[in-house]
Structure 1
Amino acid sequence: MAHIVVITHEHDRLLERKLFRRAESSYMIHAILEDLRRRGHSWTIAQGFSTKIAGDAAVLHVDSTTVDPAYIEYARGFPLCLNVGVTDISKSRVSTARVVPHDGWEGPVIVKGVLNCGGLPESRLNHRASRAGRPLPFPGARLMKEYQVFDRAADVPADLFHEPDLLVERFLPEIEPDGFALRYWLFCGDYDFCGRFVSRDRIVKGAGVFRSEPCPVPDDLRQRRKELGFDYGKFDFAVHDGKTYLMDANKTPGRVPQDAGEVASMPRMADALERMMRHALV
């Protein structure tokens, strides 16, 4: 049986306890690890890179857009570490739907922050560091709670195209009779699940999703995963006029709503991680 080390940011909390309830997690990796625990494996959280907990395998689960090289150095010491090659998931790096002035795109656009999840992870880590009297790990990180949508790229104020912490992107939700859809792809090793979230809001986000349905994974998206070095994670994408557009790549995905329809299987995710460990530890 293997011992797995989950490497998190020193100010992150994979597990949180509220009042007298047992500790819970909003991250998908927790459900996978708990399935593995029931099979006889064990796991530990290494909060920060200075603890140097030993193990048979690891998951680099630093919930921030960029990862400090010190975490990478620690992660490379394990026989297997998921996502050790994923150090930057900024939208300016991963998005294939970026719009720049005069590139020919005349449809609707959305203005986002380049940080993952609108900069919320960085804001949360900065807040916890400040409360602990520690230096801010991401000074100057911009929190962007709301995205702006424009009917045409020409309507976007010119200065927004030149803001280094903003990204102008093609706005490509799929229009359904009962709402709007965005595709997602969840994967761990050789197991994956691809589906479409349908929401009543044109900006498709978790709170507004009321249905999920399976769909195929485009071959070019599989190639993009290889290029970005992902072992485990979630991609948000759109298919428009037969072309695939990657919007977001997340290396620390949250739990998938179980009431939204057919979703990824956590036991099969755990199976895939077991296969990777078996191969690495031979």
Structure 2
Amino acid sequence: MARIAVITHEFDRFQSRRGLLMRRDSPYMLFDQLEELKRRGHSVRVLSGTSAKPAADIAVLHVDATVTPTEYVEYARGFPFCLNLGATDISKRRISGAVIGKDDGWTGQVIVKSSLNHWGTPEEHLNRQSRRAGRPEPFPGAAIFDRYQIHASLADIPAEVFEREDLVVEKFIPEPEPDGFAARFWLFCGERERCTRHVSPQSLVKGDDTIRREAVPVPDELRALRRELGFDYGKFDFVMHEGRAVLLDANKTPGRARNLSAFIAAGNANLADGFEGLIRQFA
């Protein structure tokens, strides 16, 4: 049995207690996999910050921020093996295959997004908690950009958008369907995975407006990209465009989709098997 350490930011709340029975809960998908691993006999310790020096066989770098601060990366290097140690920058400017510049020849629709994960909400939360504690902001200047702006063409994008490091402009390329649009979501941990194609009546496909979904294979080029980006565990959002996979978003701290809880829970044991595979390989 392995000793597992979960490295979180000191101002992040990986888990909490809720309800009259004070049951433990978490907004993160990893929580459910860890609960399954504990049922199998492994021990789990959640570390807040970088001060603790516990004995552990394997760690997970689970700092909920687009770019993991250097001190957490160095801390993670002190463990015998750490998942996602290579996946420390998931900014869309770095990982998205749809990002384009103002002089690109693309003539279709475009979309403006935050380069930060989840609109910059994690950074804003950590900054706010740091200020409350009388500490410096870990991500100074980070701002929430919680709206997607779709434009008919690049010519409609204000010039100042291209000058902002916190924003990106992407080709807007949802997969068209007779009854809507599709996007694909690949969850993985080690060698275990689940990849599904979700169809929505909305061109911006989200889990809560899915009208149907189906299992689909993972394209080889996406597997190669996962290796290149250093992901052991996480979620990739992508579409198929002109016969090839285009990665739109990569998340190293995927959340629990409560409106899809039964669907997500069905795969927890499978992903926990993948985690155990990594334990056997590295611990």
Q: TM-score range by the shorter chain?
A: over 0.9
> Following TM superposition, by how much is the alpha carbon of 1:210 offset from its aligned partner in structure 2, in angstroms?
4.0
Unmatched tracts of structure 1, length 5 or more? none
Paired position in structure 1 for 2:179: 178
1:203-235 Cα offsets, whole Å, 9 max, x none, are: 222333343321111111111111101101011
Paired position in structure 2 for 1:41: 42
> Following TM superposition, by how much is the alpha carbon of 1:131 offset from its aligned partner in structure 2, in angstroms?
2.0
1:35-79 Cα offsets, whole Å, 9 max, x none, are: 000011110110011222221111000000011121112211222
How many aligned residue pairs are there?
281
Question: Would you identify which runs of 4 or more consecutive aligned residues in structure 1 move more than 4 Å?
Answer: 259-264
Paired position in structure 2 for 1:66: 67
1:8-37 Cα offsets, whole Å, 9 max, x none, are: 011001112335341211111111111000
Q: What amino acid maps onto 1:120 in structure 2?
A: T
Secondary structure in 2 aligned to 1:204? coil
Contact kept? 1:108, 1:171, Cα under 8 Å: yes
- Mapping 1:1-282, distance limit 5 Å: 1-20=1-20, 21-256=22-257, 257-258=259-260, 265-281=267-283
Contact kept? 1:52, 1:74, Cα under 8 Å: no
Distance 1:34 1:147 in 2: 35
Contact kept? 1:193, 1:264, Cα under 8 Å: no
TM-score by length of 1: 0.94
1:246-275 Cα offsets, whole Å, 9 max, x none, are: 111100011245368688711111111111
The alignment yields a C-alpha RMSD, in angstroms, of 1.8
Secondary structure in 2 aligned to 1:258? helix
> Following TM superposition, by how much is the alpha carbon of 1:129 offset from its aligned partner in structure 2, in angstroms?
1.5
Distance 2:114 2:172 in 1: 14
Distance 2:180 2:262 in 1: 14
Contact kept? 1:211, 1:261, Cα under 8 Å: no
Q: What amino acid maps onto 2:92 in structure 1?
A: K
Distance 1:145 1:242 in 2: 30
Unmatched tracts of structure 2, length 5 or more? none
TM-score by length of 2: 0.94
Distance 2:160 2:114 in 1: 14
Identity of aligned residues (%): 53
